[in-house]
């Protein structure tokens, strides 16, 4: 375990370096945008990693909220199983199949949805009890870092391509910004809470945030149909070489995100252990002082 | 179940009675809203044509500010003398308290809106080009959207340091889709250029989702120390 | 008088087991374990910051223990809330409403609709139900009494009182002690957190001393308390 971390770190650096090489040298230039498009090899993997981390935060928060009562935990478990079964079957049914955008395999959609309950049970298995909350903080913090990268690289790309830094009608950029705002407010709450049950409050807010995401997406999706749209370059399918580089880059980013999460997780765990030890230490101290000052307290009567 | 509605109505009546006796929030809110409207008039002085496009945004921003000030007041009353603890040790259902507070805030903010709207109409020479009746569902659903989450997050921010500033920090990010719905919907009706149907459906969805979520989680928030 | 006091153990007692209450780096309760018999008058004494109030809030179900369990008559404090009457240091009353209006609202929270029950509670603490002044304009002593009336409104078996005699003149305090003793004699369990031990001399059945988040001593004076 101790040795795994440095080994993984070296592997990550190597992979990130190779991904950079692929992105800058190997991947072909875009027919419309030229060289500037290469930023997507950082932009898109960061976005996917951030979304994954936010989703982990949601799962951990749900598990944390439901774990106090056996009945709600059971209900949540069956909902997760239900989503899995529905996700496995539904994409192959003709009426649903028509809704899936062209170029997407139903089996791919099914696999993605089945990942939801898989993640739900995995998180429950690997992070018992209060570790769920530690996981929630960790994933939110690291998620925000990746999300910030997305929000910086997005306008950097938009400026030369669209001629403007920011398009309020752009659904992906704007909903990412709202997502970023929601999770920043999540961290602000954790920071300023003086409750003994900050974890509960934060978990509740995380659920609200997650419920908000589809609505944000929906609202901006409709909003933009009424507003002039910047031309998004290169519709249609991606060059397979580009896709290959993109996926490789994502792999490297995922590993990097995992490493950062891991060390942040250990740090947070350590911090809490120190806090507990501190409280326990003063407990031991109280036992010592008790003998010394007991007669005094009696005489006070 | 009867006790749920009994507690809800008793709490609502109690809140209205307390508000009526002190009139603290109502008076300061009215004046605050008037100030916001007047400042907007000085800041944006458009022609009637343009004003249709921007007034939807101005109105809702003004309502949003007014609502935040009002929402901060609702729980302040329960904090004085720690009355909230008396509720917490009683067997009364948490959601009755939540709904009573939400309905109370809804009435309160609606009154404010009803009084502010004529001011906007007068100052900006508005007259509606689209189907005006659609403004009513937009206003009702939009106000409920602000108030239901606002009541929930105001209760949450009771458990934080600097409670008053926490409310907007928690409420605004979550409210963005609702605000977008209200503003765009109102603009659509005022200009008559687009249909506002989608926004009404959006607000309705938002209200249903977050009312359910608040009711499911409020007990946890109330009983967290 | 108090023949109903000793029932079967567990379901009838108030049990605190290994309770730790941690606020960040500070533990207000550091492993409290105790069993309290019902139908007795317990006085919890100790310096400021000894954890008295936290223990009382734990018993009332207002504070969740970080570790350990609290059981009130065999139930969790939240489930036993109908059996618990809690009076805090602040009044837990709305200043702008009269005593009667306050009590009617809180009676509603317990599903009680009877007007007479509220009047009875107000008379029991020696106040006049007809007072129309807002509670905020009461004297400190009257407010404490009204607060006690709120706590006993639903006829709880267990009374938890936090500093009921602070800022109250000695005469009123003695009257309140007499009232509490009467409730004990009627079979109720009474906990009083205070640092005015002298007032409870002769009234309390047991003195519980707390220090630095632990119970350090318990002295029963039961013989005298029962004999009367």
Residue pLDDT, tens place only, A66-117: 887 888 888 888 988 998 888 888 888 887 777 776 666 777 788 888 888 8
In whole angstroms, give the CA distance from residue A185 to residue B166. Answer: 9
pLDDT digits (tens, 9 = 90+) for C136-149: 898 888 888 899 99
Name the residue among A146, A116, A121 with its Cα closest to residue A264. A146
Enclosing domain of residue B95: 2-223
- Find the radius of gyration of the CA atoms of chain C: 17
**Whole-angstrom distance, CA of residue B28 vs CA of residue B133:** 30
Copy the structure tokens of residue B157: 């921010």
How far, in Å, CA of B94 to CA of B155, rounded? 12
Q: Is the dihedral of CA C78, C82, C85, C87 positive or negative?
A: positive
Determine contact: A184 vs chain B, CB below 8 A. yes
End-to-end CA distance of chain C: 9
Contacts of C8 (CB under 8 A, 6+ apart): none
Using CB atoms and an 8 Å cut-off, which of residues 213-242 of chain A contact chain B?
215-216, 218-220, 222-223, 226
Closest residue by Cα to residue C36 from C87, C81, C86, C70: C70
Predicted local distance difference test score (pLDDT) of residue A102:
62
pLDDT, position A103? 62
pLDDT at A58 exceeding the cut of 70: yes
Residue of B10, B85, B225 with shortest CB distance to C105: B10
**What letter does residue A105 receive in the DSSP assignment?**
-
Of C65, C201, C145, the residue nearest C56 (C-alpha): C65
Contact C47, C216 (CB under 8 A): no
Cβ–Cβ contact A31 with C under 8 A: no
Q: Searching chain C, which residue's CA lies closest to the CA of residue A276? A: C25
What the block records as the tokens of C108 is 């509603």
CB A11 within 8 A of CB A255: yes
Mean pLDDT value of segment A251-262: 94
pLDDT at position A231:
45
Cβ neighbors of C97 (< 8 A, separation 6 or more) are B14, B17, B18, B21, C105, C134, C135
Give chain C's residues under pLDDT 50.
1-9, 224-228
Residues of C whose CB is below 8 A from A292: none
> How far apart are the C-alpha atoms of C220 and C228, rounded to whole Å?
15
Residue B55: name the closest of B30, B68, B37 by CA.
B37
Q: What is the percentage of chain A residues whose pLDDT exceeds 90? A: 34
- For the stretch A223-246, pLDDT in tens is 766 555 444 444 445 677 888 888
Residues 6+ apart with CB under 8 A from C148: C87, C125, C161, C164, C176, C179
Sequence-separated (6 or more) residues with CB below 8 Å from residue A24:
A38
Supply A207's token pair.
């659920």
Q: B127: closest CA among B204, B70, B208, B189?
A: B189
* C214: three-class secondary structure by DSSP: strand
- For chain A, state the CA radius of gyration: 24
CA distances from B221 to A130, B98, B160, C146 (A): 18, 11, 12, 29
Sheet holding C14-23, edge to edge: C26-36, C14-23, C67-72
The confidence band for A289, taking pLDDT boundaries of 50, 70 and 90, is very low
CB contact under 8 A, B14 and C94: yes
Measured CA to CA, the distance from residue C25 to residue A2 in angstroms comes to 28
Query: pLDDT tens digit string along A113-144?
Result: 888 889 899 998 899 888 999 999 999 999 99
Neighboring chain B residues of C113 at a CB cutoff of 8 Å: 6
Q: Is C68 left (phi over 0), alpha (psi -120 to 50) or beta?
A: left
Interchain contact C221–A (C-beta under 8 A) = no
Q: Which residue has the higher pLDDT, B218 or A26?
A: B218
Other CB atoms within a 10 A radius of the CB of residue A1 amount to: 4
- Degrees (nearest 5) of the Cα angle C30, C33, C36? 135
For testing the chain B interface, which of A170, A180, A212 should be mutated: the one with the most B CBs within 10 Å? A212
The one-digit pLDDT tens for each residue of chain B (225 residues) are: 468 999 999 999 999 988 888 777 778 888 888 888 888 888 877 676 777 888 888 889 988 988 898 888 888 888 888 999 999 999 999 999 999 999 999 999 998 889 888 888 888 888 888 888 999 999 999 999 999 999 999 999 988 888 888 999 999 999 999 999 999 999 999 888 888 888 999 999 999 999 999 999 999 899 887
Of all residues in chain A, the one with the smallest CA distance to B188 is: A226
The beta-carbon neighbor of A215 closest among B160, B209, B220 is B209
Alpha carbon distance, N-terminus to C-terminus of chain B: 27
Q: Which residue of chain C is at minimal alpha-carbon distance from B12? A: C105
Tally of domains in chain B = 1
First to last CA, chain A: 57
Q: Is C133 in contact with C152 (CB distance < 8 Å)?
A: no
Residue A285 is predicted with a pLDDT of 55
Return phi, psi of residue C3, to 5°. Answer: -80, -25
CB B19 within 8 A of CB B108: yes
Bridge partners of residue C84, in order along the sequence = C158
At A187 the pLDDT is 95
Task: Give all domains of chain C, ordered by start, each with its CATH number.
Answer: 14-93+147-227 (3.40.50.300)
Q: What are the tokens at C98?
A: 């009269």
Residue appearing with tokens 């290994």 = C18
pLDDT at residue number B43: 83
Residue A292 has pLDDT above 50, yes or no: no
Q: CA–CA separation, A290 vs C214, rounded Å?
A: 9
Decide if C209 touches A, using CB distance below 8 A.
yes
CA C170 to chain CA mean position, Å: 19
Which residues of B make CB contacts under 8 Å with A?
A: 149, 152, 156, 159-162, 166, 169-170, 172-174, 176-178, 180-181, 184, 194, 198-199, 202, 205-206, 209-210, 213, 217, 220-221, 224-225
Q: Which residues is C160 bridged to in the sheet? A: C86, C191
| CA-based R_g, chain B, Å | 18
Q: For residue B195, count CB atoms less than 10 angstroms from its CB and return exposed for 0-12, middle for 13-18, buried for 19 or more.
A: middle
> 3-class DSSP state for residue A100?
coil
pLDDT of residue A104: 66
Q: 3-state SS string over B61-125? A: HHHHHHHHHHHHHHHHHHHHHHHHHHHHCCCCCHHHHHHHHHHHHHHHHHHHHHHHHHHHHHHHC
* Residues in chain A closer than 8 A to B217 (CB atoms): 65, 204, 207-208
CB contact under 8 A, C63 and A196: yes
Question: How is residue A45 written in tokens?
Answer: 């993997």
With 60 as the cut, is the pLDDT of residue A291 above it? no
In this predicted model, what pLDDT tens digit does every residue of A28-55 receive, in sequence order?
877 777 787 888 888 889 999 999 999 9
**pLDDT given at position A224:** 67
């Amino acid at each position: 375990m101790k040795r795994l971390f440095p080994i993984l770190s070296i592997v990550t650096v190597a992979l990130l370096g190779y991904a950079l090489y692929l992105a800058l040298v190997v991947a072909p230039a875009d027919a419309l945008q030229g060289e500037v498009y290469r930023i997507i090899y950082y932009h898109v993997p960061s976005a996917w990693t951030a979304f994954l981390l936010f989703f982990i935060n949601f799962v951990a928060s749900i598990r944390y909220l439901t774990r106090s009562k056996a009945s709600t935990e059971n209900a949540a478990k069956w909902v997760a199983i239900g989503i899995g079964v529905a996700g496995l079957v539904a994409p192959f049914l003709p009426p649903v199949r028509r809704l899936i955008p062209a170029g997407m395999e139903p089996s791919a959609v099914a696999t993605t949805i089945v990942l939801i309950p898989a993640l739900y049970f995995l998180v429950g298995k690997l992070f018992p009890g209060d570790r769920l909350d530690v996981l929630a903080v960790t994933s939110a913090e690291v998620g925000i870092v990746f999300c910030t990268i997305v929000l910086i690289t997005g306008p950097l790309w938009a400026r030369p391509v669209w001629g403007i830094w920011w398009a309020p009608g752009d659904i992906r950029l704007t909903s990412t910004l709202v997502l970023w705002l929601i999770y920043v407010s999540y961290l602000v709450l954790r920071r300023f809470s003086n409750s003994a049950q900050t974890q509960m409050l934060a978990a509740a807010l995380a659920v609200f945030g997650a419920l908000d995401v589809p609505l944000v997406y929906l609202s901006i999706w409709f909003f933009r149909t009424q507003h002039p749209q910047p031309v998004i370059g290169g519709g249609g399918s991606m060059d397979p070489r580009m896709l290959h580089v993109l996926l490789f880059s994502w792999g490297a980013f995922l590993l990097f995100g995992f490493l950062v999460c891991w060390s942040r997780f250990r740090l947070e765990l350590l911090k809490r252990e120190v806090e507990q030890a501190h409280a326990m230490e003063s407990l031991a101290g109280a036992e010592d002082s008790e003998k010394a000052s007991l007669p005094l307290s009696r005489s006070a009567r | 179940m009867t006790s749920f509605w009994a507690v809800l109505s008793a709490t609502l009546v109690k809140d209205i009675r307390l508000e009526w006796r002190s009139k603290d929030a109502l008076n300061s809110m009215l004046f605050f809203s008037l100030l916001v409207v007047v400042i907007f008039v000085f800041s944006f002085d458009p022609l009637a044509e343009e004003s249709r496009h921007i007034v939807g945004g101005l109105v809702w921003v003004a309502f949003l500010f007014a609502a935040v000030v009002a929402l901060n007041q609702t729980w302040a009353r329960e904090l004085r003398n720690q009355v909230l603890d008396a509720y917490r040790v009683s067997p009364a259902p948490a959601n009755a308290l939540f709904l009573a507070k939400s309905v109370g805030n809804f009435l309160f903010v609606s009154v404010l809106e009803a009084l502010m709207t004529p001011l906007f109409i007068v100052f900006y020479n508005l007259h509606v080009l689209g189907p005006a009746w659609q403004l009513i569902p937009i206003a009702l659903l939009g106000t409920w959207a602000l108030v239901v989450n606002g009541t929930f997050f105001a209760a949450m921010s009771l458990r934080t340091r600097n409670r008053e500033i926490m409310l907007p920090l928690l409420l605004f990010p979550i409210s963005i889709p609702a605000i977008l719905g209200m503003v765009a919907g109102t603009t659509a009706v005022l200009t008559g250029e687009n249909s506002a149907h989608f926004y009404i459906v959006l607000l309705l969805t938002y209200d249903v989702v977050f009312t359910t979520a608040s009711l499911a989680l409020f007990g946890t928030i109330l009983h967290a120390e | 008088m108090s023949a109903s006091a000793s029932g079967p153990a567990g379901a009838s007692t108030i049990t605190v087991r290994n309770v730790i209450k941690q606020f960040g780096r500070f533990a207000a309760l550091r492993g409290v374990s105790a069993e309290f018999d019902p139908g007795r008058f317990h006085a919890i004494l100790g310096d400021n910051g000894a954890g008295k109030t936290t223990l009382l809030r734990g018993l009332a179900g207002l504070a969740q223990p970080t570790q350990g369990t609290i059981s009130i008559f065999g139930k969790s404090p939240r489930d036993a809330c109908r059996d618990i009457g809690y009076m805090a240091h602040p009044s837990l009353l709305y200043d702008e409403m009269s005593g009667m209006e306050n009590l009617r609202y809180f009676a509603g929270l317990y599903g009680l609709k009877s007007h007479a029950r509220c009047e009875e509670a107000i008379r029991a603490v020696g106040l006049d139900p007809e007072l129309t002044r807002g509670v905020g304009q009461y004297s400190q002593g009257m407010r404490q009494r009204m607060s006690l009336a709120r706590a006993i409104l639903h006829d709880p078996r267990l009374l938890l009182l936090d500093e009921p005699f602070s800022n109250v003149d000695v005469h009123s305090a003695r009257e309140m002690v007499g009232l509490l003793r009467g409730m004990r004699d009627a079979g109720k369990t009474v906990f009083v957190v205070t640092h005015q031990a002298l007032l409870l001399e002769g009234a309390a059945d047991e003195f519980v001393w707390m220090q630095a988040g632990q119970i350090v001593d318990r002295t029963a004076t039961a013989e005298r308390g029962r004999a009367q």
